[in-house]
Amino acid sequence: MHPEGFLEVITGPMFAGKTTELIKRIERQIFAKRKAALFKPSIDNRYSESEVVAHNGLRYDAFVIPTDEEGVKTIEEITKRERFEVIGVDEVQFFPMSIVGMLDELADSGVYVIASGLNLDFKGDPFPVTRELLVRADNIVYLTAICTVCGAPATRTQRLINGKPAPRNSPVILVGGRESYEARCRRHHIIP
């Protein structure tokens, strides 16, 4: 489907269906008899240790990779050793910046790379890794969610701590799901 190599980025706020879209694309490639694999960071232990799981419960077997330089090398090694033609990386924003060049080179070498991740953190600031992948992408799949307050398209992620909007000095990384986050439109995205 992209035998010449391709870098595709799936992005948007939480609850937009990014992981579902990633799994769907990997499954289509497997139907097309391509050798495909999915990778996810070990930091994300929300629902499963060895599977990628979407908020809607859709799940798929994945290589679980630590979010350090070694982890980035491991993704490259597995892809080359197993001669994967298609790879997906979920939660790509959690990996170090070196993943950008590595994935870009894999695409140059003929691999169809699909990276899924948040474009913005809970403050509305870019995740640098996703930003750098977006500007290099051959295709961008931008998804929106639904604002939990008004039902408008949501492009932001609200972090809630004990039900209250998290302050700006809250740490950037906080793994969580519906107990800590809601999709919001610009108007209802609040940072005290």
Q: Which of residues 12-71 bind Mg ion (CB under 5 A)?
A: 19
Catalytic residue among 77, 91, 105, 182: 91
Q: Which of residues 141-160 bind ligand TMP (CB under 6 A)?
A: 157
Q: How far apart are CA 90 and CA 93, in angstroms?
A: 9
- The site string for ligand TMP over 106-125 (x = CB under 6 A, - otherwise) reads ------------x--xx---
Catalytic site residue 179?
no
Of the pair 31, 171, the CB lying nearest ligand TMP is at 171
User: Binding ligand TMP by CB under 6 A: which of 1, 161, 175, 186?
Assistant: 175
Does residue 161 belong to the site contacting ligand TMP (CB under 6 A)?
A: no
Give me the residue whose beta carbon is nearest to Mg ion: 19
The CB-based long-range contact list for 100-108 (8 Å cut-off, 24+ gap) reads 100/129, 100/132, 100/133, 100/136, 102/72, 102/73, 102/75, 102/76, 103/7, 103/133, 104/7, 104/136, 106/5, 106/76, 106/79, 107/5, 107/6, 107/7, 107/138, 108/5
21 binds, among ligand TMP, Mg ion, none (CB under 5 to 8 A by kind): none
Size, binding site for ligand TMP by CB under 6 A:
15
Among 70, 110, 112, 109, smallest CA distance to 89 is for 112
Active site residues: 91
What is the contact surface with Mg ion in residues (CB under 5 A)? 19
List residues binding ligand TMP (CB under 6 A): 14, 18-19, 44, 46, 91, 118, 121-122, 157, 172-176
